[in-house]
Structure 1
Amino acid sequence: MSCTKVAVIGVGLIGGSFGLCLKDALGDAVYITGLCRTEASMRQAVALGAVDEASTDLAAVVGGADIIYLSPPVLQIVPMVRRILPYLKQGAILTDAGSTKGYLYKAMQEILPPYVHYIPGHPMTGREKSGVSAATKDLFAGKAYVIIDTPDVPPETKDRLMDVLRYTRANFTTLDLAQHDRCAAVISHVPHLAAAGLVTLLNRSGDDLTSCLKLIGGGFKDTTRIASSNADMWADICMTNAKPIADALRTLQDILDNVISAVETGDRQAIHAYFTASKERRDSILLDAAQKFDTN
């Protein structure tokens, strides 16, 4: 097997985990170069085995790369692509781990030359911790991984990318751009905003704050875990997926308005039905989701 060269731009949690799983599966059959924000994180990425080589020299990182994996915060991706364009070889494949797709796809169509292919991707995984020190080779395993099946990319190019991505052991599925952004808003983006909202609610408990802190247990910790995620990443997501997020938040607001009304009027039947329906649906969700993935 010939050696595949992969360049990872942004060797943090996602980019570092991508590198770790490829090196674990392919060993010397893949050579991974990486770009990090600091010299310290570059040294750490090499020490952890997430990349074979790290550099601040863009030509050294992406020159000759077959696949360029873009995993910085969303608003940093397009400026970075502009910087690396002069060093990309003919036939290079760009893919990304960005949580919003419509914004990126439109920008890429405007700046990429015809000899470079862009295949949007989104691994639906992560942790509340960030940085390459939080990376793990199993981060993608068994998790949803969306590939946007764009008509302008030749099938053989997509196959070349998938031959590498499958080593993540993720569950791959395809969505169109708009559907992805709507679904990501409901499944990922609004839950993060809601988790941050619950922490903000606690902070606004006034004179009760100290007493509330004494009562914190598993329920609050589990529900708000994702509020500890990277603020830069989530601010960028909100800026680049604004309408689907706002639409989903308004729907959630309507749901909570109905709950508030039922609580204030003492409508126990409505509250009971609310909890019953959500319990039954959640209990069936994991099985339903597992059966919808294309694992080939």
Structure 2
Amino acid sequence: MVDKFVHSDLRATVVGLGLIGGSIAWALKEAGAFVSGRDIEFSVENEALSRKLIDQVGSDEKADIVFICTPLEATVKEIEKELLIIGTKCVVSDVSGVKQSIVEAISDPRFIGGHPMAGSEQNTLMGASPQLFNAATWVLTPTDKTDPQSYSFLQGIVSNVFQAVAVALPSKDHDEFVAVVSHVPHLTAATLMTLASKASDDHDWLFKLAAGGFRDMTRVAAGSPYIWPDVCIDNKEAISKVINQLVIELQELSSLIDSGDKELILAKLQKAQFARQALPIRATRPEELCEIRIRISDAPGELVKVLDVARVRGINIFDVEIAHSVDGSQGILVLIVANIDRELLCSGFLEAGYGVSAHKLG
């Protein structure tokens, strides 16, 4: 079945044409597939058609693969709808952020649960990109009923078309893991924004003090809130468990602060720092990378000038972050590059007149 991709006669259906569905459709189109798509909003269907992200509106009974990219509450219904019209060898997958409830609800061997660990707060078709999943982890949740050929086919699409890294996990494990790294972080960001919003009612200058750290921590709170009630209910056990653990950790930190124990406070923060620095970078192993920080001004063309220092030296940048200052006039540009390029890039920044610091991640 993987040969269908190679010969560009793959037929696919994408149900739900938001950020994820639109990006899936776009990547499939670029790979040469014939893509059908539908959405609850006619205007979205028309936009996808006019932008040539899909070839036709609707479902395709001849599809080789179907992706269900709807909100969680509609996912099972849409999976069942597609299973009724597709052929016996077609594969159906979804992209929902909770897997166990869906996998348990669908026993058909043609269905394989999936969850691409990619996205942004831009959750509409306007934010779609065929490169959205490049090097991202794409979780697949096969069961003992899954046909090996179907799994191999889906894994091939994920790897070859979307350029993602396919990882197989039991659905229960997936839900427990994403509660820690996705669900509770989003709820925490929303809670911090709520606290700040309440405080700003009495102190209108509060948000003017919100520097890069606060903005980075709360960025995901800008995403659509409408998907989250379903996620919270469907994954309530795992989410509640992690929230309780988070509360315990914060209470322990509060006790250390009350006691004035600087050494233990430092030890706790250092442990978090080391864990953060060890977060895997998509491109390579953390121990082979370093972090470079450059202070830049908020001026037209400044970012281009800085990145050009790396370009002219042929240095690849694995990741970029910007930490903004409170007044917005300047910031710290954080670049992740290979250790072997550290000295060359730092000398280039110094020659260009930038202050620079660097340290290894591993």
Q: TM-score, normalised by structure 1?
A: 0.89
Q: Are the structure 2 counterparts of residues 31 and 289 from structure 1 closer, same or farther at C-alpha, using a change threshold of 3 Å?
A: closer
Separation of aligned partners in 1, 2:215 and 2:187? 15
Deviation at 1:50, TM superposition (A): 2.2
Corresponding residue of 2:105: 107
Corresponding residue of 1:161: 154
The answer as to whether partners of 1:203 and 1:209 remain within 8 angstroms in 2 is no
Separation of aligned partners in 1, 2:124 and 2:36? 17
Corresponding residue of 2:192: 198
Q: Are the structure 2 counterparts of residues 149 and 136 from structure 1 closer, same or farther at C-alpha, using a change threshold of 3 Å?
A: same
Structure 2 residue 48 is matched with structure 1 residue 49? no
Q: Are the structure 2 counterparts of residues 36 and 288 from structure 1 closer, same or farther at C-alpha, using a change threshold of 3 Å?
A: closer
Bigger RCO (CA 8 Å, 6+ sep)? 1
Deviation at 1:81, TM superposition (A): 2.6
Mark the runs of 5 or more structure 1 residues left unpaired by the alignment: 56-60
Deviations 1:173-209 (A, max 9, x none): 1111111111011011111011101101111215544
The answer as to whether partners of 1:44 and 1:133 remain within 8 angstroms in 2 is no
Corresponding residue of 1:232: 226
Separation of aligned partners in 2, 1:236 and 1:170? 26
Deviations 1:82-131 (A, max 9, x none): 3334322222211010111100001112xx4xxx6111111001100111
The answer as to whether partners of 1:101 and 1:120 remain within 8 angstroms in 2 is yes
Q: Determine helix, strand or coil for the equivalent of 1:184.
A: helix
Deviation at 1:218, TM superposition (A): 1.5
Q: Determine helix, strand or coil for the equivalent of 1:205.
A: helix
Q: 1:284 aligns with which of 259, 278, 281?
A: 278
Q: Are the structure 2 counterparts of residues 227 and 175 from structure 1 closer, same or farther at C-alpha, using a change threshold of 3 Å?
A: same
Q: How does 1:77-156 map to 2 (within 5 A)?
A: 77-109=75-107, 112=108, 117-156=110-149
Separation of aligned partners in 1, 2:278 and 2:83? 46
Q: Are the structure 2 counterparts of residues 289 and 186 from structure 1 closer, same or farther at C-alpha, using a change threshold of 3 Å?
A: farther
Corresponding residue of 2:43: 40
Deviation at 1:287, TM superposition (A): 5.1
Q: Determine helix, strand or coil for the equivalent of 2:54.
A: coil
Moved more, 270-279 or 213-222: 213-222
Q: Are the structure 2 counterparts of residues 207 and 51 from structure 1 closer, same or farther at C-alpha, using a change threshold of 3 Å?
A: closer
Separation of aligned partners in 1, 2:52 and 2:158? 18
Separation of aligned partners in 1, 2:174 and 2:22? 24
Q: Which has the higher strand share?
A: 2
Q: Are the structure 2 counterparts of residues 205 and 156 from structure 1 closer, same or farther at C-alpha, using a change threshold of 3 Å?
A: same
Q: 1:216 aligns with which of 210, 228, 241?
A: 210
Separation of aligned partners in 2, 1:145 and 1:190? 20
Q: How does 1:163-178 map to 2 (within 5 A)?
A: 163-166=156-159, 167-178=161-172
CA RMSD in angstroms comes to: 1.9
The answer as to whether partners of 1:202 and 1:209 remain within 8 angstroms in 2 is no
Deviation at 1:15, TM superposition (A): 0.6
Deviations 1:51-75 (A, max 9, x none): 11124xxxxx132211110111111
Percent identity (aligned) = 29
Structure 2 residue 11 is matched with structure 1 residue 8? no
The answer as to whether partners of 2:16 and 2:68 remain within 8 angstroms in 1 is yes
Corresponding residue of 1:260: 254
Corresponding residue of 2:333: none
Q: Which has the higher helix share?
A: 1
Separation of aligned partners in 2, 1:147 and 1:105? 11
Separation of aligned partners in 1, 2:143 and 2:87? 21
Q: Are the structure 2 counterparts of residues 100 and 217 from structure 1 closer, same or farther at C-alpha, using a change threshold of 3 Å?
A: same
Aligned residues: 279
Corresponding residue of 2:69: 71
Q: Are the structure 2 counterparts of residues 2 and 215 from structure 1 closer, same or farther at C-alpha, using a change threshold of 3 Å?
A: closer
Q: TM-score, normalised by structure 2?
A: 0.73
Q: Are the structure 2 counterparts of residues 18 and 104 from structure 1 closer, same or farther at C-alpha, using a change threshold of 3 Å?
A: same
The answer as to whether partners of 1:17 and 1:137 remain within 8 angstroms in 2 is yes
Deviations 1:252-274 (A, max 9, x none): 11000111111222222221111
Q: Are the structure 2 counterparts of residues 291 and 154 from structure 1 closer, same or farther at C-alpha, using a change threshold of 3 Å?
A: farther
Deviation at 1:289, TM superposition (A): 9.8
Deviations 1:229-269 (A, max 9, x none): 22222222111111011101110110001111112222222
The answer as to whether partners of 1:94 and 1:117 remain within 8 angstroms in 2 is yes
Q: Are the structure 2 counterparts of residues 169 and 222 from structure 1 closer, same or farther at C-alpha, using a change threshold of 3 Å?
A: same
